[in-house]
Amino acid sequence: MYNRCCIHSPLHSSGFLSSSWLPIPNLNVSIKNEKRERVVKASRDVTMNSKKVIFQVHRMSKYNKEEVLQKAEKDLAAVTNQYMSRLVKELQGTDFWKLRRAYSPGIQEYVEAATFCGFCKNGTLLTLDEINNTLLPLSDPSLQPLQINILDYLLGLADLTGELMRLAIGRISDGELEFAQKICRFARDIYRELTLVVPHMDDSHDMKTKMEIMLQSVMKIENACFSVHVRGSEYIPLLGSDDPGSFLVGVADIEL
C-alpha cells in the first residue's frame, strides 16, 4: 500500500518514478477528512450562534419589542458575516452537496433563526430566495456560490414551529392575546402547506419525523389560544402550574 512517505522517497526525488506512477489515495482521503472536519466545526459554530439569536428574540415583551429585535437582527448579521461566511468559504466552488450531512444542522438552525427573527419583526415568512440572497455577497463571484437547498430550508421551518409555540405561550402569559393568535395562524399555515409538499419529496424521512413534532406544537398553540378565548384572560395561570384546572391542557411540560 502506498502512503505519504512514498512521495518523498529517493526514487521519486531522482525522477526515476514520476508522480503519475504513485497513486496517493491516503493523501486524498486525508484531505477530504480534514475538509469535512472544518465544515462540521463551521456548522457547529453557526448552530451555536444561531441559537443565541433565537434566545435573544425570546427576551421580547410588549415593552421592549423594538429594542430586543434590533439586537437580534444585529446578532443574526454577525452570524451571517462571521460564521456562515466560513461555511461558504469551505463549500463554494465544490460539490458541496456531498458534504450536506456535515453542514445541514447548521444551515437548518440558521434558517430557523432568520425566519423566527423575520416573523417577529414583519409578521411574514422569510423565503428561501431571500435567505440565499443574503449569502451571495459572501461568495467569490468566480466560483459557484453556496445556496441553501429546499430540504434544509423546510427542515428549518419545521423547527421554527417549536419556537413559535414557546413564543405564543409566553405572549399569552404576558397578556398579548392578539399576538398569540397571529402566531397560531402563522404556525398553522406553515404546517398546512408542508403537509401538501412533504408527500412529494424524494428525501423526506427527516421531514416526516419533524412533521409529527410540528403537529404537536401547533396543537399546543391552538389549545392555549382557544382556552383563553373561551374562559377569558382572567384564568391565565402561571406557566408550569400543576393546577388540574389550568387552561394549558397538555402543555405543562413546555420549556421556555
C-alpha cell at 151: 430540504
3-state secondary structure of 253: coil
Rounded distance between C-alpha atoms, residue 107 and residue 80, angstroms: 11
State whether 175 and 249 are in the same domain: yes
Query: Are both 120 and 166 inside the same structural domain?
Result: no
**Residue that finishes a domain, picked among 129, 148, 167:** 148
User: Looking at the domain assignment, is residue 218 inside a domain?
Assistant: yes
**Please, where are the H alpha helices in 123-204?**
128-135, 150-173, 177-197
Q: Which of 117, 148, 179 is the last residue of a domain?
A: 148
The 10 Å Cβ neighbour count of residue 160 is 26
Based on the fold, state whether residues 120 and 44 are members of the same structural domain.
yes
User: Do residue 183 and residue 233 come from a single domain?
Assistant: yes
Both 141 and 169 in one domain: the answer is: no
d(CA 247, CA 233): 10
Task: Give 212-247 as a DSSP string.
Answer: HHHHHHHHHHHHHHHHHHHH-GGG---TT---TT-S
Please tell me the pTM assigned to this model.
Answer: 0.80
Q: Do residues 100 and 167 share a domain?
A: no
**DSSP code at position 16:** S
| Cβ neighbours of residue 159 closer than 8 Å, sequence gap 6 or more | 108, 109, 112, 210
Identify whether residues 168 and 122 lie together within a single domain.
Answer: no
Q: What are the pLDDT tens digits along the chain (256 aa)?
A: 444 444 454 444 445 444 444 455 666 667 788 888 999 999 999 999 999 999 999 999 989 999 999 999 999 999 999 999 999 998 887 777 888 999 999 999 999 999 999 999 999 999 999 999 999 999 888 888 888 999 999 999 999 999 999 999 999 988 899 999 999 999 999 999 999 998 888 777 888 889 999 999 999 999 999 888 777 655 555 444 444 444 444 444 444 3
In a domain, 200, yes or no: yes
109 and 173 co-located in one domain: no
Question: What is the domain range of residue 104?
Answer: 25-148
Judgement on whether residues 38 and 142 belong to the same structural domain of the protein:
yes
Cell of 53: 439569536
Are residues 67 and 107 located together in one domain of the fold?
A: yes
How many structural domains comprise the chain? 2
Angstrom CA distances, 227 to 159, 222, 224, stand at 25, 8, 5
Q: Are residues 31 and 95 in the same domain?
A: yes
* CATH number for position 161: 1.20.58.200
CB atoms within 10 A of CB 33: 10
State whether the Cα torsion 20-25-31-32 is positive or negative. positive
